[in-house]
Structure 1
Amino acid sequence: MPYWLLILLLNALLPRHTTTAAGKVPAIIVFGDSTVDAGNNNYIPTLTKGNFPPYGRDFDGGVATGRFSNGRLVTDFLSEALGLPSSVPAYLDSSYTIDQLASGVSFASGGTGLDHLTSRISSVIPISRQLAYFRLYKEKLKLAKGEDVANEIIAEALCLFSVGTNDFIVNYFVLPLRPAVYTLAEYVTYIVGEADSAVRAAYELGARKILFAGLAPIGCVPFARTMNHDAPGECNEERNQAALMFNSQLMEAMGKLNSELPGAKVVYTDIYGVVSSVVSNPSDYGFVNVAQGCCGTGLIETTILCGLSERWTCQDDDAYAFFDSVHPSQRTYKIIANKIINTELQTLL
């Protein structure tokens, strides 16, 4: 046999190895805020929506799905990497059947937090209700697939939490109620406790592979830079220190859950480091602007204000790390997803 033909034959017969766990995970199940909301807020009475242009202009078909970005989210990229559909549906979108939701579902709601007061501020879906939806989802899955298959899907699924940003940038640092009751250190402890409770609740419903995302450098989002009265245009270090404090305690809390919840794998994923690297070294990632969002002036516009300023929205989304004054662009979300795929996902799965 010719040498080249032998090589081709061996190449065809040898098992393929990828850096992802494609084929091993039957579903991705998502809880959290606007960083992972696939459009649930479209179906509730709130002003916190992203279902209008310029949001979604780089999504398939240029559709504003309710995602708070110009395109796909971290969870969409993770789903695709796992060999699942390229986007994760919103639970409240009735156009999806339970068979479609069996491979992925997002219960997330933009504007929510771990603090129940945070969700009330924006009239959005609290984590407690997202977990209640999860319970209903499990029952629907049992009816459609049978109890054993439903339980297996949930036990083998990647369950991801991305929440906590609004507790700090909206609730604690803008409004007076929580600072009047808690010091920052006390509030961090309270929020981490709520994160712990949320993971335990998901575990009780059958989740076993749980990924909990830490906070990004929230003091470096364009809105925080704009509102930084001490150093306008610069990152707000007080906000960043709060994020780091939260992340440190969250990582410790998630680590402890592995020994307290039999059969569970609970993994903390660091978002702060990768976003901080993007902000500090934008040219290394191909970004031109990390201080402003693509939408409008890029200084304060988010949600409904982005819709009002569409004609001023930038032309090249990929040059911007943030799409609006709070939310990352699709390219930044992909960078975060790639980091998770190559690190924590390997450990978890």
Structure 2
Amino acid sequence: MANMYALALKIWLVGVCITWCGLRECEASSVPAVLFFGDSYGDPGNNDFISTMIRSNFPPYGKNFPGQKPTGRFSDGKIMPDYIVVGLGIKELLPAYLDPNITHQDLLTGVSFSSSGSGLDNLTAITLAVIPVWQQIKYLEDYRTRISALIGQENATILLNRALSFISIGTNDFIANYFLQINRRLEYNVAQFQDFLVKIYSNYIEDLYKIDLRKIAIINVPPLGSLPLERTISSVTNGDSVKDMNDAAMGFNSKLESMISGLKTKLPGLQIVYLDYYALVKDFITSPKQYGFTVATKSCCGTGTYEFGIACNYLTAACTNDSDYVFFDSIHLTQKAYSIISQHFLRHGIKDLL
């Protein structure tokens, strides 16, 4: 059995060479698998298999997913990992690692370890009862053991070296932790909290490197204060949280870029790129018509002001013209928005890892 999968992998590594990836924009590459880490922007349903209230495996989520099936993806349909694996010519969807129905082929072509609601600060994950980053590392170690059993240790190392790994995390550390709870604000000012998170992030990448990941894409955090939920909170409290949170996001993102520069010199053989999610979401909001959107400050679900997760449910009216909206719920984007972002990343950034 092991020999059969070893042969299959070697065929895959040759056959997956993509002359033109995505919209025929990328250079020739050999990408055997895609791995995702982090939060809801990359979670295809891992939270379905843990005890947490941070879920989206019910309508109206998934209303435009194949079969109109809610899967645990926080959107009306597909999310970034799905569009990225399609753009790289690997498969149609990136499955959740905790899904008991994943196949051997799923494992060999990539999975997501992401957990909606997770953050760099362990307090974030504890508060929301989701999978912390350190546990995602444990799952990666388990994943390595499983693929080694299928194709042998040497081939598993080759696969991990050549896989593209994506990390999208940090949003919840601000919106569900620092700006919502008092604990961290008693310990740190905003700049200190950013430094605290970046240090954890750096250690996280070093841990991934130790498990043989060599091609990593960092997806920064969005303009937090411009999310419909945070706009609503700001209007209710008569505060200036929109600017404060956007400034916090920009400061954090700037420090991420500096961190990446340091890691390139510190970790030999590491290829790492910075993907600017913030800029794209901001552009959607300020220039929606340029991308075919007509509603950019409210979401498709319910009143468009606060609903997400269990508050966005089958009793909540959802819009019928999803593609006109940037946001599906008050935090997460529509599949149209995710598709545009993923195509941009394939053209600008991901190709540098190929």
In 1, the alpha carbon distance for the partners of 2:43 and 2:120 equals 15
Confirm or deny that 1:322 pairs with 2:327: yes
Equivalences for 1:113-262 in 2 at 5 Å?
113-229=119-235, 236-262=242-268
Report % sequence identity: 37
**Pair 1:313-2:313 in alignment:** no
Letter in 2 for 1:266: I
Equivalent position SS for 1:267: strand
Does the Cα contact within 8 Å between 1:22 and 1:83 map onto a contact in 2?
A: no
CA change 1:298–1:212 in 2 (3 A) is same
Give the whole-Å Cα distance in 2 for the aligned partners of 1:234 and 1:338.
34
Bigger shift: residues 22-31 or 124-133:
22-31
| Cα deviations by residue, 1:42-98 (Å, 9 ceiling, x for unpaired) | 000000001001111111111111000011111111111111112100000010123
Moved over 4 A (4+): 230-235
Per-residue CA deviation, residues 283-324 of structure 1 (Å, 9 max, x unaligned), is 1111111111101111110000101543x1101110110000
RMSD: 1.7
Secondary structure of the structure 2 residue equivalent to 1:31: strand
Question: Quick one: which amino acid aligns to residue 108 of structure 2?
Answer: A
Compute the displacement of 1:235 (Å): 7.9
TM-score by length of 2: 0.91
Q: Distance in 1 between matches of 2:241 and 2:351?
A: 32
Cα drift, residue 229 of structure 1: 3.4
Query: Could you state the TM-score of these two structures normalised by the residue count of structure 1?
Result: 0.93
Q: Does 1:281 align with 2:287?
A: yes
Aligned letter for 1:336?
Answer: I
Are the equivalent residues in 1 in contact too, given 2:161–2:213 (CA < 8 A)? yes
C-alpha deviation, 1:346, in angstroms:
1.5
Indicate which of 279, 299, 308 corresponds to 1:302: 308
Structure 2 gaps of 5+ residues are 1-17
Q: How many residues are paired up?
A: 334
> Does 1:65 find its partner at 2:71?
yes
Structure 1, unaligned stretches of length 5 or more?
1-14
| CA distance, structure 2, for counterparts of residue 262 and residue 205 of structure 1 | 14
| CA deviation profile, 1:102-150 (whole Å, cap 9, x unmatched) | 1010000000000000000110000000010000000000001111211
How many Å separate the matches in 2 of 1:182 and 1:233?
A: 20
State the one-letter code of the partner of 1:161. I
2:34 is matched with which residue? 28
> CA distance change for structure 1 residues 233 and 78 in 2, over 3 Å: closer, same or farther?
farther
Which protein has the larger Cα radius of gyration, Structure 1 or Structure 2?
Answer: 1
Using the TM superposition, give the Cα deviation of residue 347 of structure 1 relative to its aligned residue in structure 2, in angstroms.
1.3
Q: Match of 1:52? A: 58
